[in-house]
Amino acid sequence: MDARHFVTLNDFTPAELARLVARGGELKRLHAEGQPWRPLVGKTLAMVFQLSSTRTRVAFEAGMHQLGGHAIFLNPADSQLGRGEPVADTARVLAGMVDAVMIRALQHDVVTGFAAVSSIPVINGMTARFHPCQLLADMQTFAELRGPIQGRVVAFIGDGYNMCHSYINAARQFGFRLRIATPPTHRPDADVLAAADCARLVETPAEAVENADLVVTDVWSSLGQDDEAQARKRAFAGYQVTPTLLDGAKPEALFMHCLPAHRGEEVSADLFDDPRSVVFTEAGNRLHSQKALLEFLLGAEP
């Protein structure tokens, strides 16, 4: 059978995604109870990072260890990928040595190209287009704290970039309504938006958050955009998420941010102290949701 890949949320069915979210919760409970669960003994994950990471790397590395397997960290400086070895050659070599590959790359086609020729599962660890692993953690966090997200209202404020794109995919796959408030110059890609009837652009952050169940933002300058930082600060003025903005959402609304954050830019300095903010629970759930993903892709579900 051909390997399954996780390049976007659309690679899995809604039922598979729901199962992964539930399984992430089960793995979190097992971990908290100190119950060992090591179905990946003898398995190896190669992690190719062309961009820096804290959460994604640690979650995959710790996750493989906890599941009984092993993870190998590769960055361009330490591998022949950085000296021009073709992605297809690398994919064939890795497939002969490891059981799955995770790739973080700015160019989305690096990951799709890898997956197209890989006989082992390929996981998108974030590209300029999508960040599906983060959405698994976000959906697990909402389910854990508020129950099913199906039929709920989610507000995305800020840059119509990879996190926004993945929220658009998630709206369709998990069945929630998504309102997106971005500056006109930083809207999500039209093809991504067009694929989800349940996601729509709105004029202002206040309109987006009205009676929302979940409010989400991301940094104004993502990895690879540091030289645009000043122009972006001007473009995103008025798009900061604050406790006052959250007051327009439902009283029980949650706030999420994939981190790292820039306090004083996309979030006010006090937002993470607000009880509606669950950003550190969300970050911690990267571990459990990625363990569920590894289990699934490596055929190790109980």
Nearer to ligand CP, 201 or 259 (CB): 259
Residues 6 or more apart in contact with residue 91 via CB below 8 angstroms = 101, 114, 117, 118, 122
Tell me if residue 131 is catalytic. yes
Q: Which of 57, 131, 165, 257 is catalytic?
A: 131
Phi-psi region of 83 (alpha: psi -120 to 50; beta: other; left: phi over 0): alpha
Site string for ligand CP, 90-129 (x = CB under 6 A): ------------------------------------x---
Site string for ligand CP, 125-164 (x = CB under 6 A): -x-------x------------------------------
Q: Which of 259, 261, 274, 281 is close enough to bind ligand CP by CB under 6 A?
A: 259
Q: Which of 23, 28, 43, 55 is close enough to bind ligand CP by CB under 6 A?
A: 55
Tell me if residue 104 is catalytic. yes
Count of residues of this chain found to bind ligand CP when the rule CB under 6 A is applied: 8
Q: Which of 53, 75, 79, 225 is close enough to bind ligand CP by CB under 6 A?
A: 53
- Report how far residue 102's alpha carbon sits from residue 126's, in angstroms, rounded to the nearest whole number: 9
Q: How far is the CB of 290 from ligand CP (least distance, A)?
A: 11
CA angle 221, 73, 160 (to 5 degrees): 20
Nearer to ligand CP, 54 or 211 (CB): 54
Q: Is 56 in the site for ligand CP (CB under 6 A)?
A: yes
Nearer to ligand CP, 52 or 119 (CB): 52
Q: Say if CB 149 and CB 139 are below 8 A apart.
A: yes
Tell me if residue 286 is catalytic. yes
Q: For 104, list phi and psi in degrees, rounded to 5.
A: -115, 120
Q: Which of 5, 258, 276, 290 is catalytic?
A: 258
User: CA of 182: how far to CAs of 204, 205, 256, in Å?
Assistant: 8, 8, 17
Q: Is 285 in the site for ligand CP (CB under 6 A)?
A: no
Q: Which of 218, 240, 257, 276 is catalytic?
A: 218
Q: Is 211 in the site for ligand CP (CB under 6 A)?
A: no
Q: How far is the CB of 280 from ligand CP (least distance, A)?
A: 12
Tell me if residue 258 is catalytic. yes
- Near ligand CP by CB under 6 A, which window of 33-41, 50-58, 147-155, 194-202? 50-58
Q: Which of 165, 257, 276, 286 is catalytic?
A: 286
List of residues contacting ligand CP (CB under 6 A): 53-56, 126, 134, 258-259
Residues taking part in catalysis: 104, 131, 134, 218, 258, 286
